[in-house]
Structure 1
Amino acid sequence: MSLAPRLDLRQTQSLVMTPQLQQAIRLLALSNLEVETFLAEELEKNPLLEARPDEGGTDADRDTAPDADEFQPASEPAPSDELLANGAGTGEAELDVDLASESFHHDSASDNIGGLDGGLGLAGTGSGGFGEDGPDFESMATSDTSLADHLIAQAGTAIDRADQFIATHLIDQIDEAGYLTVPLLDIATRLNVPLARVEAVLGMIQTFDPTGVGARDLAECLTLQAKEADRYDPCMAALLNHLDLVARGDLARLKRICRVDDEDLADMIRELRDYNPKPGLQFGGETVQAVVPDLFVARRKQGWAIEINSATLPRVLINRAYYVELSAGPQDKASKSWLADCLASANWLIKALDQRQRTIIRVASEIVKQQEAFFLHGVAHLKPMTLRQVADAIDMHESTVSRVTSNKYLSCARGLYELKYFFTSAIQSADGGDAVSAEAVKNAIRTLIAGEAPKKILSDDTLVKLLNDQGFDIARRTVAKYREAMGIGSSVQRRRQKALQGA
């Protein structure tokens, strides 16, 4: 056997993940708002890309634009899987696309119809936030003063200057619910001051608005509010010292401890319900971000209309005039290569966005087709469905469907749902019929518990029997698991809760 070095020529096949393929895969998993952020970054890097607001012009106006050509696809594009696998679109063919034009509304029953946003005014804004006419959701949010700022403002007038640094440190340790989360001894040691001085400053903070702020536990928070309402007597003090019995609904023992009758105990519990266990939450925390739907689904005479929410997608074009201007000027080899790369990148990005839209429409159309009973009759008719079922029906890979349904929301007449919501596990039918979805079973459990009488609480065993009568073949442990997942207490907990409500 020869050990000498030699040269061999071998031919192999391999799939290479080019940057363009990685970009296309990443775009599939992004929501419309995330795509908007991604495009903003691309606009910064690529001078040939341009985002324009939808000015409400006609198609003829768009066709005559001096620096933008209309894209007319010659044939139906390849599926998303083929696009990713074959690396299509890496060439430098000219391709200018207006995502708001009619070229991208031939994938569903929503062609040439009005917006499906239920009068929200989102589908017609066009620019997705890049233009002046786009919706400004941030301006709708209130800029409330934070709890810390509110407390510091009060401390500036109520606490001596010598103790201001202690007050500021204590306020920094108060969480958004209004509770002090650090032991006073630790704060005293950290600031190198006597513990009594820290306690005195905390006592001042506990007199601030909102009442109950600066408490170290729930009992102290409610005690501060009872004192403010001039309702803190020995009976109320005993009640607040035994909140665990209140939580368990042990009314008989509470009456003995507080030394009151049924009427007085009922008055005290009603008073307790009026207090705020988290007083700090009434002040501004993090701004709540509204969920913006990526798709609209509406019922039409011909079937179901499915439409992409164009309000969250900018109108992306290639600035043809600028490209011609740069090409006509003097260029060295590096500049010419850079300009060609920019054009190829812009062409690929627009084609990837086009394919993304078409893939989303195909997946959403199949979901609506398979879950039509849900859209017509509600969650009780939601069918079990898997990613593989949808992927096989539209001839795509399961991973592609998974990416498409991630972080995307669908708006219909029944509300706003994440696309992942429609994929649920199957529960066998008790009468041998078709299987039902887990969400349908949860809805049945929720309905049964909501309708139970205060003096006839349904146990898990009773729920199993009632569900079996409705055709659900389900075990007791599964009922308990679903009940806990929905945040519903056990029969004992619900009985005590209703006893407190009736007190």
Structure 2
Amino acid sequence: MALAASLFLRQNQSLVMTPQLMQSIQLLQMTHGELTQFIEQEVEKNPLLEIAANDDGGRDERFTAEAEPSPTERGGDGGQADLYETATSGTAGSAPETLDGGLDNVFPDDAGPRAADAPELIGQWKSMPGGGGDGEGYDLDDFVASRKTLRDVLNEQIPFALADPVDRLIAQHLVDQLDEAGYLQGSTAETAAKLGKPAAEIERVLARLQELDPPGVFARSLSECLAIQLRARDRLDPAMAALVGNLELLARRDFATLKKLCGVGEEDLLDMLAEIRKLDPKPGTRYETGASEAVVPDIVVRAAPDGSWHVELNADTLPRVLVNRDYYTAVSSRTSRDSADYGFLNECLQTANWLTRSLDQRARTILKVASEIVRQQDAFLVNGVDHLRPLNLKTIAEAIRMHESTVSRVTSNKYMLTPRGLFELKYFFTVSIGSAEGGDSHSAESVRHRIRSMIAQEAPEAVLSDDDIVDVLRKGGVELARRTVAKYREAMNIPSSVQRRREKRALAKASAT
């Protein structure tokens, strides 16, 4: 058979991961804060983009849906490999066309009105910045004092605790070694070597710093942290010191050994345990450690009068980005089509149109996924966590005719506000546990809730072992292995039956006396 080279011309179609599609996918999994920061950066770079204020206070009917408890007909023309709704659709769709054509606020020459220096005097001094009688020229948030950090609190106390400048320098070096919980991470030997001072002098300064507020700060271990707080309360007697020095026995609930080491009775030991529970194991966490952000729900679910669920996107998390086409028309009409400015303006227009399309498609995709989750978990919303159904990404993806990767990106760091509380979307996706009677499978989260409820209701004379929990669950229709019950129990920080029995019996005896 002779071999010969030949040329063939073939035409085919394929989906290509373009840079804009990759950016759209990144927008889909961004949180509200990340999305806001990204849009602000784009608005700063693009003169055709504007952020419109949501002043109407109403809901956008484009981003609301009704999720009924029973299956409904859903249309769709694509397969499961949607590639994010075929590159986030081809047109802007229902993007707002009512644009602000005014140029008064474009590239302002000044920074706007100044905040008033003393807002309580605005009514008396009309000439003050922000004055005018109506009190609208300032923001009260500008006058709110910021929360102090742990370092700020300690730096205020060090000059009063240490008079020697050398001791203050050592103290400042030790402050820099504190973690967020207030524990000292470095050793005194390393600090002494770095500063060229004797280790005894470092220990002396450290002992003085351990007397500062909050009590327990500058500790090097949990035992030392508790001992510092007990010393401040004048409660560090030999018995309490023995208890604090054997926290591993306390974690195992070995009360018999603790009574021997501390030399106290059972009632005194329980009183000591109650006093330890009042201490703060992480004294530094009560102070500001960084910028903390409140969780803002992306989806809001409300009960409808007809028994279904009304699902809508939170208007506070929907950025309203507008394209100023009037500005584009005015500038392009005065610019030559062959100039670099005209090319820059067209590029800005394409980027602005892409951003509005992507944001619109992002909102619709989140609403579609959230509506299907609500439909699947209707029993949970009505009856509670015991009726949480097992659910995976594939089920949602097949129901809404999207790819699993798209559903995964939607559920990342997105939150849903329901009548039963605020939940992350990934909370509704749990492992399926088989039924002992061959019926419907159970959700792993609902099974963990059952285990937690059974242990909370057990009596001191009838503490349930892991085998007992397996039998109770099997009678309730849940087939679970003993090692799985132990794994769930340990994940919920619930001690073993032996440890629980010791603690419950000791508490029962103390309450009886």
Normalised to the residue count of structure 2, the TM-score between the two structures is: 0.79
Q: 2:76 touches 2:401 (CA, 8 Å); kept in 1?
A: no
Give how far 1:264 is off: 3.3
User: In the alignment, what sits opposite 1:155?
Assistant: 158
Matched, 1:248 2:247: no
The 5 Å alignment of 1:297-312 reads 297-302=301-306, 303-312=308-317
Give how far 1:373 is off: 0.9
Q: 2:89 touches 2:361 (CA, 8 Å); kept in 1?
A: no
CA distance in 2, matches of 1:50, 1:224: 56
User: In the alignment, what sits opposite 1:54?
Assistant: 54
Q: 1:371 touches 1:382 (CA, 8 Å); kept in 2?
A: yes
1:376 equivalent among 369, 382, 404: 382
Give how far 1:10 is off: 4.9
Q: Cα deviations across residues 267-290 of structure 1 (Å, max 9, x unaligned)?
A: 333333333322222222234322
Q: Find the residue that maps to 1:256 and give its secondary structure.
A: helix
| Percentage of matched positions with identical amino acids | 50
User: In the alignment, what sits opposite 1:285?
Assistant: 289
Q: Find the residue that maps to 2:55 and give its secondary structure.
A: coil
User: In the alignment, what sits opposite 2:96?
Assistant: 97
User: In the alignment, what sits opposite 2:129?
Assistant: none
Matched, 1:44 2:44: yes
User: Cα 1:365–1:493, aligned 2, differ >3 Å: closer, same or farther?
Assistant: same
Q: 2:82 touches 2:402 (CA, 8 Å); kept in 1?
A: no
Q: 1:255 touches 1:265 (CA, 8 Å); kept in 2?
A: yes
User: In the alignment, what sits opposite 1:401?
Assistant: 407
User: In the alignment, what sits opposite 2:120?
Assistant: none
User: Cα 1:165–1:34, aligned 2, differ >3 Å: closer, same or farther?
Assistant: same
Give how far 1:201 is off: 0.7
Q: 1:249 touches 1:499 (CA, 8 Å); kept in 2?
A: no
Matched, 1:143 2:149: no
Q: Find the residue that maps to 1:144 and give its secondary structure.
A: coil
Give how far 1:344 is off: 2.1
User: In the alignment, what sits opposite 1:315?
Assistant: 320
Give how far 1:433 is off: 1.1
The 5 Å alignment of 1:11-160 reads 11-56=11-56, 84=84, 86-87=86-87, 96-97=95-96, 143-159=146-162, 160=164
Q: Find the residue that maps to 2:416 and give its secondary structure.
A: strand
User: In the alignment, what sits opposite 2:490?
Assistant: 484
2:317 is matched by which residue type in structure 1? T
Q: Find the residue that maps to 2:42 and give its secondary structure.
A: helix
CA distance in 1, matches of 2:402, 2:204: 68
The 5 Å alignment of 1:204-353 reads 204-302=208-306, 303-333=308-338, 334-353=340-359
Q: Cα deviations across residues 64-102 of structure 1 (Å, max 9, x unaligned)?
A: xxxxxxxxxxxx9977965757557668x8985279xxx
User: Cα 1:267–1:16, aligned 2, differ >3 Å: closer, same or farther?
Assistant: closer
CA distance in 2, matches of 1:454, 1:271: 22
- How many residues end up aligned between the 2 structures? 451
Gaps of 5+ in 1: 60-75, 100-132
2:15 is matched by which residue type in structure 1? L
Q: Find the residue that maps to 2:494 and give its secondary structure.
A: coil
Q: 2:95 touches 2:360 (CA, 8 Å); kept in 1?
A: no
Q: 2:391 touches 2:428 (CA, 8 Å); kept in 1?
A: yes
Q: Which moved more, 1:437-446 or 1:22-31?
A: 22-31
User: Cα 1:329–1:90, aligned 2, differ >3 Å: closer, same or farther?
Assistant: farther
Q: Which moved more, 1:213-222 or 1:492-501?
A: 492-501
Give how far 1:376 is off: 0.9
2:433 is matched by which residue type in structure 1? I
1:42 is matched by which residue type in structure 2? E
Q: 2:170 touches 2:202 (CA, 8 Å); kept in 1?
A: yes
Q: 1:32 touches 1:312 (CA, 8 Å); kept in 2?
A: yes
Q: 2:469 touches 2:485 (CA, 8 Å); kept in 1?
A: yes
User: In the alignment, what sits opposite 1:173?
Assistant: 177
User: Cα 1:318–1:141, aligned 2, differ >3 Å: closer, same or farther?
Assistant: same
Q: 1:96 touches 1:318 (CA, 8 Å); kept in 2?
A: no
Give how far 1:411 is off: 0.7
Q: CA RMSD in A?
A: 3.3
CA distance in 1, matches of 2:18, 2:454: 54
CA distance in 1, matches of 2:141, 2:486: 42
User: In the alignment, what sits opposite 2:130?
Assistant: none
User: In the alignment, what sits opposite 2:107?
Assistant: none
Q: 2:85 touches 2:402 (CA, 8 Å); kept in 1?
A: no
The 5 Å alignment of 1:354-393 reads 354-393=360-399
Q: Cα deviations across residues 12-36 of structure 1 (Å, max 9, x unaligned)?
A: 5443222222222222222333322
Q: Cα deviations across residues 240-261 of structure 1 (Å, max 9, x unaligned)?
A: 3333333333333333333333
Give how far 1:315 is off: 1.7
Q: Find the residue that maps to 1:24 and give its secondary structure.
A: helix
User: Cα 1:273–1:481, aligned 2, differ >3 Å: closer, same or farther?
Assistant: closer
1:446 equivalent among 431, 446, 452: 452
CA distance in 2, matches of 1:209, 1:376: 48
User: Cα 1:421–1:253, aligned 2, differ >3 Å: closer, same or farther?
Assistant: closer
User: Cα 1:193–1:10, aligned 2, differ >3 Å: closer, same or farther?
Assistant: same
User: In the alignment, what sits opposite 1:64?
Assistant: none
User: Cα 1:499–1:433, aligned 2, differ >3 Å: closer, same or farther?
Assistant: same
1:174 is matched by which residue type in structure 2? L
Normalised to the residue count of structure 1, the TM-score between the two structures is: 0.81
User: Cα 1:492–1:185, aligned 2, differ >3 Å: closer, same or farther?
Assistant: same
2:466 is matched by which residue type in structure 1? D
Q: Find the residue that maps to 2:213 and give its secondary structure.
A: coil
User: Cα 1:470–1:202, aligned 2, differ >3 Å: closer, same or farther?
Assistant: same
User: Cα 1:370–1:141, aligned 2, differ >3 Å: closer, same or farther?
Assistant: farther
Q: 2:52 touches 2:320 (CA, 8 Å); kept in 1?
A: yes
Gaps of 5+ in 2: 60-74, 99-135
2:320 is matched by which residue type in structure 1? R
Q: 2:178 touches 2:184 (CA, 8 Å); kept in 1?
A: yes
CA distance in 2, matches of 1:87, 1:268: 64
Matched, 1:462 2:477: no
2:242 is matched by which residue type in structure 1? A
